[in-house]
Amino acid sequence: MVTRDVGSDIAGDRAVLRHIIRELDQNLGVYAKIIKPGVVAAGDSMRFM
């Protein structure tokens, strides 16, 4: 979640979520490279590399 700390070098920022809601009609996309196929479901944890 953008409002939570991602790691020791990236702090959470609620302003990001406010911007997504106000300016982007609550739409956000992410590009990713698949390194291991599998199923991802709502509520699953993700790790940024």
Predicted model pTM: 0.44
Q: What pLDDT score does 2 carry?
A: 62
Largest CA distance in the chain: 35
φ, ψ for residue 7 (rounded to 5)?
Answer: -170, -175
Q: How far apart, in whole angstroms, are the C-alpha atoms of residue 6 and residue 44?
A: 15
Residue ranges covered by each domain of the chain = 1-27
pLDDT, one tens digit per residue, over 1-49 is 566 666 777 777 788 888 888 999 989 888 888 888 999 899 898 777 6
Identity of the residue numbered 32 = A
